[in-house]
Structure 1
């Protein structure tokens, strides 16, 4: 997959089929649309293109710093590449760009830059300055600029919307099973392993402390989870705590700590992707470190029982 972040007029050498959207999560509803895009492009000997925007428009227009996304930009790129997309065009979303008229957007971006022969778009899609244009306007532009418009049905759009809502709600409630079902893959956290205080080692459960740069990434409900990670082509399994370590700390600082089973290699400064498989329990405050240690041993046993059925 080719990732493009800027295009000059006429630079694209390939005529294309284009769809537009944030595709946050690239969940099963999105995947249906992406596969339709790819199949349409192949059948017409065209390139499949997704035009997406970053930062998220709400971050720019509404200054919504609290918006939480299911994917980091890099995670989204990886998922789309694995689906077989040809080109991902990531348009830098700015206030200036938001003021483009609908026709300027169509002519400058879709026609001149992406050489769109067909646009696959939702029936309720709005675009251009103040989101004033709709799919009927796009069809009119299509007649003028010689491209077709294919409508994504209300049912398919509703599936996308419902899936996104359910995934976010499920993650906030710690319902990983439902979130992963609607995603079509395991929810992931990607970050850099940084040094902690070494308390995990004292408890005989050394942990990799995960730092996530992107503050817009949605972190699931605090608690203990069963996880996996592909590291140096080897699949590792373990358990992860998302929380504030109330037995040890009196702060509200959130930490993400992963203990890998049967693994003692130093992985500081590595960027790793943690796949969340199952939720074990809430985080809780224990009376002593010994009580916490006993609970961690119990968590490990429970996690291994889950993994026996998960792997097979």
Structure 2
């Protein structure tokens, strides 16, 4: 998959088959649209194009709302889309100027002139242009003017999987990881850099890797203990703006190619919380990786969440906490062996 971080980099195609959206999470509902996009491209000899936006439009249009957290960072979304076999991913920087394009300007300048769109496949509720004034009616209205075809995925086809990004976000925030994973079609994951902690876990016999999530807008599951799988995926990561929710301007992303077969993931138990037993002040994300003792400081981990084990609670002391960690490990091992 070829990735473009600005639509000006994209050279119009002869036969672009396009879908548009934020595609946060690339969940089962999104995959229905993408599967149809690919089917149309095969039938017409076209190339698949996904037009998405970064930052998320709500970050720009509703900057006072700091509560929006996304299922996937832009890099994670690109990884998922590459795995589905998309030809081209255009990541358009979303701005107020962009949001003020009229429906016709959006169709003419972006879809037709910049991309070379011949066929559009969209979900039933897709809106675009100034004040979200554009939709299926406008796309149909201008189709003969600008020589493209439009296909809408019916509401019942998408809703039969009973999934939405907002529903997945709510499930993750409630610790309902198994439910979220059913909606996603894969295990929810986070990607972060291993940083040095205070090494209390090591003194308890459960050393942990502490994860720092650079993207302030990334969705983090509810506090508690989880059964997880872990992959070490690289070294230093691209820095983000850490001042708040709004990410820094995106740097160019390379073309994504199919990697060599990856080794089996590691397994472990993750902890998310404020460590109340030791009166912790900050929210930590830690993982005890089973049967693993390598130095992975400053390495990037991808951690996939498979099952919620228990809520975070305050224990009477470290002895009681250590005993509970032993039971937690048994629960995680039992989950993976079942």
Structure 1 spans left out of the alignment, 5+ residues: none
Query: 2:53·2:92 contact (CA, 8 Å) conserved in 1?
Result: yes
Cα pair distance change 1:10/1:228, threshold 3 Å:
closer
CA distance in 1, matches of 2:141, 2:133: 14
CA contact (8 A) 2:174 2:221 kept: yes
Aligned 8 A contact 1:9 1:108 in 2? no
- Per the TM alignment, residue 62 of structure 1 is displaced from its structure 2 partner at its CA by 1.2
What is the aligned partner in structure 2 of residue 266 from structure 1? 295
**What SS does structure 2 have at the residue aligned with 1:297?**
helix
Question: How far apart are residue 101 of structure 1 and its match?
Answer: 1.5
CA shift in 2, pair 1:10/1:285, >3 Å: closer
What residue number does 1:29 align with?
Answer: 29
Deviations along 1:39-86, one digit per CA (max 9) or x if unpaired, are 111221111111111101011011132211111111111111101111
Other-structure match for 1:86: 87
Could you tell me the TM-score, scaled by structure 1's length? 0.94
- Separation in 1, partners of 2:67, 2:293: 37
Q: Which residue of 2 aligns with 1:98?
A: 99
Contact map agreement 1:10 1:112 (CA 8 A) in 2? no
Q: For 1:256, which of 285, 306, 320 is the aligned residue?
A: 285
Alignment of 1:296-307 (within 5 A): 296-307=325-336
The alignment partner of 1:66 has SS state of coil
Q: Does the aligned pair in 1 maintain the 2:7–2:92 contact within 8 Å?
A: no
Q: Which digits, 9 at most, give the CA deviation of each residue in 1:230-284, with x for residues without a partner?
A: 2373420000000000001242x11100000010101010111000011110111
2:28/2:163 contact within 8 Å kept: no
Residue of structure 1 in register with 2:128 after alignment = 127
Cα RMSD for the two superposed structures: 1.6
Contact 1:180/1:187, CA 8 A, preserved across alignment: yes
Could you tell me how far apart the structure 2 residues matched to 1:57 and 1:160 are? 25
* Deviates most, 12-21 or 91-100: 12-21
Structure 1 residue corresponding to 2:318, chosen from 285, 289, 295: 289
In structure 1, distance between residues paired with 2:43 and 2:306: 37
Q: Secondary structure at the match of 2:7?
A: coil
Partner SS state of residue 285, structure 1:
coil
Report which structure shows greater RCO (CA 8 Å, sep ≥6): 2
- CA deviation digits over 1:15-59, x for unaligned, max 9? 211111001011111111111111111221111111111101011
Q: Secondary structure at the match of 1:191?
A: strand
Answer whether contact 1:9 1:112 (CA < 8 A) is retained: no
Could you report, residue by residue, the CA deviation over 1:115-134 in whole angstroms, capped at 9, with x for unpaired residues? 10011123332221122222
| Residue segments in structure 2 that go unaligned for 5+ positions in a row | 234-262
TM-score between the two structures when normalised by the length of structure 2: 0.87
- Cα deviation digits, residues 139-181 of structure 1 (max 9, x gap): 1211100000101112234457743233222212211111111
Q: Determine if contact 2:163/2:183 at 8 Å carries over to the other structure.
A: no
C-alpha distance in structure 1 between counterparts of 2:10 and 2:145, whole Å? 18
Deviates more, 1:217-226 or 1:156-165: 156-165
CA distance in 1: counterparts of 2:223 and 2:120, whole angstroms: 41
SS in 2 for 1:247: helix
Task: Give the match's secondary structure for 2:277.
Answer: coil
